[in-house]
Amino acid sequence: DLILYIIGQIGTDGGTGYVLEFSGDAVRELSMEGRMTLCNMAIEAGARAGMIAADEVTFSYIKGRPMAPKGDLWEKAVSSWKSLHSDPDAKFDRMIEIDATRIAPQITWGTNPGMVLSVTESIPSPESFKDEVLRENTKNALKYMGLEPGTPLSGIPRRPNF
């Protein structure tokens, strides 16, 4: 839900040419698999990559795996990895703050991950978009998906992808 919400806010081209760095309480609470999903899906926002600073969740995930350093090398690696984070005074091209506690479950309704809304919302009308390209993309997505503007997402039956 978190990455779909972010993509919905910045669009599928919002990260083009950049690396997205994710941080904050919601990210720290994610499992390693959740973090991998977040970073992997950064590509769907057009980013070159997604990243999260290594922490205890990361170290616990790596420790004991076949290719993980052992013994003293492990301690040295962890010490090095702990230094790989953004400086507190780092300047970013763009910073977006999100209150993840306010994000409702997200559903993609169209033909790309930027066509996403919370489950409490309704399918948008193409006319609600000022941008002509978005308006046309919405028309095409609605036709392809067999949806009508104004339909509550919660009322659309789930269709398996495969």
Query: Helix, strand or coil for residue 73?
Result: helix
Give average pLDDT by consecutive 10-residue segment, the chain, 162 residues: 96 96 97 98 98 98 97 97 94 95 95 96 97 96 96 87 66
CB 141 within 8 A of CB 115: yes
Whether the full predicted model's pTM is greater than 0.85, yes or no, is: yes
Number of domains in the chain: 2
pLDDT at 71: 95
pLDDT at 162: 62
pLDDT at 104: 95
**Length of the chain measured in residues:** 162
What the block records as the tokens of 48 is 């070159």
Q: Are residues 31 and 65 in the same domain?
A: yes
Helix, strand, coil fractions of the chain, as percent rounded to 5: 40, 10, 50
pLDDT at 158: 80
User: Does residue 73 form part of some domain?
Assistant: yes
pLDDT at 57: 98
pLDDT digits (tens, 9 = 90+) for 74-114: 999 999 999 999 999 999 999 999 999 999 999 999 999 99
User: Does residue 39 form part of some domain?
Assistant: yes
CATH number of the domain at 12, please: 3.40.1060.10
Domain range enclosing 161: 106-162
pLDDT at 85: 93
